[in-house]
Amino acid sequence: MQQEEPTYFQLCYISKILARTVNKKMTDNDMLIVDARLSHSNYIKREIAYQAELGIDDPLVIVDIDEVVERYRKWYHLLPRVLDLGVDPSRIIYANPCKQNAHLPFAKKHNVDLMTFDSEEELIKIKMLYRSARLLLRFRPNHMCTVMYDLGKKFGCVFVEALDLFISAKNKGLNVIGVSFHVGSDCLSSDAFAFAIKEARRIFDMGQQVGFDMNVLDIGGGYRGRDVDHPTIEENADIINQCLDEYFPAAEGVKIIAEPGRYLVETAVSAAANIIGRRFVYDQGMCRAYKYKKRIEHVLYNINDGIYGSVSRVNDGTKVLVISPVLNKAMAEKHNSTLWGPTCDSTDCLATDIPLPLMEVGEWVHISYVGAYSLCRATNFNSMPRPKLYYFCSRHTWYI
């Protein structure tokens, strides 16, 4: 398969537009442009030093735009048939199959006409508010693979509902152009994509039989965020490319799109929190045996970021946080440690029983891989400020 380099335009899109969509007013001045890309821990050290000069010890989050661009490049290289979303509204997908009424005229005003549906109610809504939209039928893949977040519980029709939905859309004069699925977020098996693509083919054929010109397949998200986790993007790409060639051969001209979320951003973001409190739990047995010598059994830290801040998904038990001291303490003895967030909520706990070197109040901890589904869920519970965001980008990437 012919591989093309991402174009100048696409890379500009990912590095600048992506960053700017986070904060619509973002300009070059809001980006910390560095001569050469640094490690997250060095970005954190730099901002902590800057804050310290101002007497500030608030939690902060650093966003590494180079990482997003790098992952985008890798995606493009591994899945050349699966297009990125471009900047033109005609290439944006309104992918939530359950849309608020008022959002449909908004989409229409901005010419975002590609959208998903999965029920009769949605078809009624679309007929009323955006009749000319181009529609993808989202189905719930019938796979038994493990996913961390099963979106099928909430979205997507089942196979046997598809035909009726196609017929209903036809009767309403709507324009269905393809099929979409999401295997579930943080999907633990590449087979899920294989099963889903095969099922998509059968549903696609159904749409064609009802008389629609079916020409888009949307293979959704579900790709893992960290390179060390399996299936890796390479493993997923192998299976996806094979299945696409088998069930949607390139000669047929079906456009393949995807909606990678976690894959693009999880590793691009790190949080840094200040230790605002510490307590020791001593080993009582040792204390009795050696009268005056106490051994630290456990260290309880209170830090100023937590589940209401930049690490909001830790409590559902699926996220393993990677936490380390900002100061290099690689050689120091490790103690069983627990990290509590700053609020009054006793579930505001980032990690229990993890080995960490001893840290002092006022020191900083680095929390890695918090880019996906984290800060976007932050609240101001207990009037705690949301961590401040610092965007870093190398000069080379920013001025591509």
Ligand X SMILES: Cc1ncc(COP(=O)(O)O)c(C=O)c1O
- Can you read off the two tokens belonging to residue 318? 């699926």
Nearest distance, CB of residue 178 and ligand X, angstroms: 14
Q: Using alpha carbons only, give the angle 80, 264, 149 rounded to the nearest 5 degrees.
A: 105
Query: Which residue matches tokens 């959002």?
Result: 103
Q: Which residue has the tokens 């579900």?
A: 222
* 222 counts as binding ligand X under rule CB under 6 A: yes
> In Å, what is the CA distance from 205 to each residue of 56, 93, 114, 183, 355?
60, 22, 20, 20, 54
Choose which of 41, 185, 236, 312 interacts with ligand X (CB under 6 A): 185
CA distance to 76, 98, 195, per residue, from 180 (Å):
20, 14, 13
**Backbone phi, then psi, for 398, in 5-degree steps?**
-65, -40
Q: How far is the CB of 277 from ligand X (least distance, A)?
A: 34
List of long-range contacts for 128-131, beta carbons under 8 Å, 24+ apart: 129/101, 129/104, 129/105, 130/104, 130/105, 131/173, 131/174
Q: Determine contact, residues 136/176, Cβ cutoff 8 Å.
A: yes
> Any contact of residue 95 with ligand X (CB under 6 A)?
yes
Query: Could you say whether residue 259 binds ligand X (CB under 6 A)?
Result: yes
Least Å distance between CB 180 and ligand X?
Answer: 8
Q: Which is nearer to ligand X, 259 or 345 (CB)?
A: 259
Binders of ligand X in range 145-174 (CB under 6 A): 151
Q: What is the Cα–Cα distance from 115 to 177, expressed in whole angstroms?
A: 10
Q: How far is the CB of 236 from ligand X (least distance, A)?
A: 11
Closest residue to ligand X, judged by C-beta, is 221
**Residue of 261, 306, 309, 342 that binds ligand X (CB under 6 A):** 261
223 touching ligand X, by CB under 6 A = yes
Residue of 6, 59, 260, 341 interacting with ligand X (CB under 6 A): 260
Largest CA distance in the chain: 86
To the query of whether residue 344 is one of the catalytic residues in this protein, the response is: yes
- The verdict on 143 binding ligand X (CB under 6 A) reads no
Span of 221-229, 242-250, 287-295, 312-320 interacting with ligand X by CB under 6 A? 221-229
Options 16, 40, 71, 262; binder of ligand X; rule CB under 6 A = 262
Residue of 344, 349, 376, 393 marked active site: 344
Which residues are known to be catalytic? 344
- The residues that touch ligand X, with contacts defined as CB under 6 A, are 95, 151, 182, 185, 220-223, 259-263, 372
